[in-house]
Structure 1
Amino acid sequence: MPAVPDLLLVPLALLALQASLCHGACVELDSDTEAVANEGFKLGCISCKMRGEVPATASVDWYFRASDETEFSHLYSYDDQRAQIIDPRFDGRLGWNGSKNTKDLQDGSIYILNVTFNDTGTYQCIFTRLLMYTNYEYQTNTTKIINMNVVPQLTRGLASILSEVMMYVSIIGLQLWLVVEMIYCYRKIAAAGEEALRESAAEYLAIASESKDNCAGVQVAE
């Protein structure tokens, strides 16, 4: 009979592992928005599939609207593991940086080479996902918007500077606290040692005095 509960634990453990893999493998993070001229830049676009157990296929389309334009133009397409650069302004400068070796895309990021100031603008990433259930198919669309700014050199935000300052302050404060703690412990140990020496000396004097009194009493009796 004890073997039955053990057998039940096996499928439960497998289900827990599968759930952790399905829900923990994909995290939707916002893309960076500040690119440096003449360097590469990753435009991040992640759309996690909520039902990990459902088979699906997905395609990704990117659109671009420059800062001096009013309409979006089709920039890039990725479908069935094939990529196509559509906007001639980005010929030879765009590469796929998302999910690989799968049609069930969740990461639709792209990478821009040799960023120019003309690349400043709004980028639109559209996921088209087809969920294939047993008796029907269901299509979903997810859109991500990224406002990218191109700068001559990377600038650090106030939050980043403050976090670094606080890190150094914390390190210095921790070191000072350790020094104070060491001094306190040393003084406490030293005081305990002195007290022990005084007690030993007092005990020695008491023994010596008692021995002297005993010797005096013996002499008087003689």
Structure 2
Amino acid sequence: MSAWNTFLYAVSLLMMLLVRCCQLVCVEVPSDTEALHGTNMKLTCISCVRREEVNTDTLVAWTYVNNDQEISIYEFNGEPRGLKGPYQGRILWSGSKDLQDVSITIVNVTLNDSGLYRCTIKRYFNYKIHRPSVTDVKDVQLTVHEDEMIYCYRKILKSEQAAQENAADYLAIPSGNKEKQSTVPVEE
């Protein structure tokens, strides 16, 4: 093989690798965990998988975990399906068509909806001879607040605590201005 052919082969290989690296990326993000009574709450569950050219069958099961007992509340097996029980008619599919995002939304959350939710994704890879599978499990601990004022107060309190922790950064006085500044005691 001539040097020119070797160079072209190397460039072609490099281009294929670059194209492969520049494909869309699936980013797994944690779910929100706090909701206000009477609002809708999206429970986020994202499970990234490299699909390539392999055909997969994806099964999704959402359960509510109560004292180590899992109560099935929603399934996806080719199409979304709500289940009979306390969540019947209150859960909407919020996932994506490619089934990387398999989130659900609880409509009109109540205080009784507080608790642990489990999202289980099982993918079957369809090869000609072999059908391996992989399972991914995500947990979301949901807290439903009764009163908007309490919920807002907690958010403000957390924000104020973070600001106090970083107060030293904001109270620094540039050395060139020390003579012009009056001395004022700072209370914490």
1:123 to partner: Cα distance = 1.0
Instruction: Count residues in correspondence.
Output: 170
1:46 to partner: Cα distance = 1.8
* Partner SS state of residue 23, structure 2: helix
Kept in 2, the 8 Å contact 1:78–1:84? The answer is yes
CA–CA separation in structure 2 for the residues paired with 1:136 and 1:84: 28
Report the counterpart of residue 40 of structure 2 in structure 1.
40
Flag the structure with more relative contact order, 1 or 2, with Cα contacts below 8 A and sequence separation at least 6: 2
Note the alpha carbon deviations across 1:24-69, whole angstroms, 9 max, x for none.
Answer: x123332222221111211111222256554322121111135xx6
Report the counterpart of residue 125 of structure 1 in structure 2.
119
Give 1:16-31 correspondences, 5 Å limit: 16-21=18-23, 25-31=25-31
Between Structure 1 and Structure 2, which shows a larger proportion of helix residues? 1
- What is the TM-score of this pair, normalised by structure 2? 0.71
Give 1:91-170 correspondences, 5 Å limit: 91-100=88-97, 102=98, 105-152=99-146, 153=148, 154=151, 155-156=154-155, 160-164=159-163
* Partner SS state of residue 140, structure 1: strand
Kept in 2, the 8 Å contact 1:131–1:139? The answer is yes
1:79 to partner: Cα distance = 2.0
CA–CA separation in structure 2 for the residues paired with 1:31 and 1:126: 15
Query: What's the Cα RMSD here?
Result: 3.2
Report the counterpart of residue 74 of structure 2 in structure 1.
76
Note the alpha carbon deviations across 1:57-84, whole angstroms, 9 max, x for none.
Answer: 2121111135xx663221001121x111
- What is the TM-score of this pair, normalised by structure 1? 0.62
Amino acid corresponding to residue 19 of structure 1 in structure 2: C
Between Structure 1 and Structure 2, which shows a larger proportion of strand residues? 2
Mind listing any 5+ residue stretches in structure 1 that lack a counterpart? 182-222
1:127 to partner: Cα distance = 0.5
Q: For the structure 1 residues 2 and 124, does the alpha-carbon distance in structure 2 shift closer, same or farther, using more than 3 Å as the test?
A: same
1:171 to partner: Cα distance = 6.5
Report the counterpart of residue 193 of structure 1 in structure 2.
none
Structure number with larger C-alpha Rg: 1
Mind listing any 5+ residue stretches in structure 2 that lack a counterpart? 178-188
Note the alpha carbon deviations across 1:121-159, whole angstroms, 9 max, x for none.
Answer: 221111110012353110222222222111123332876
Amino acid corresponding to residue 86 of structure 2 in structure 1: R
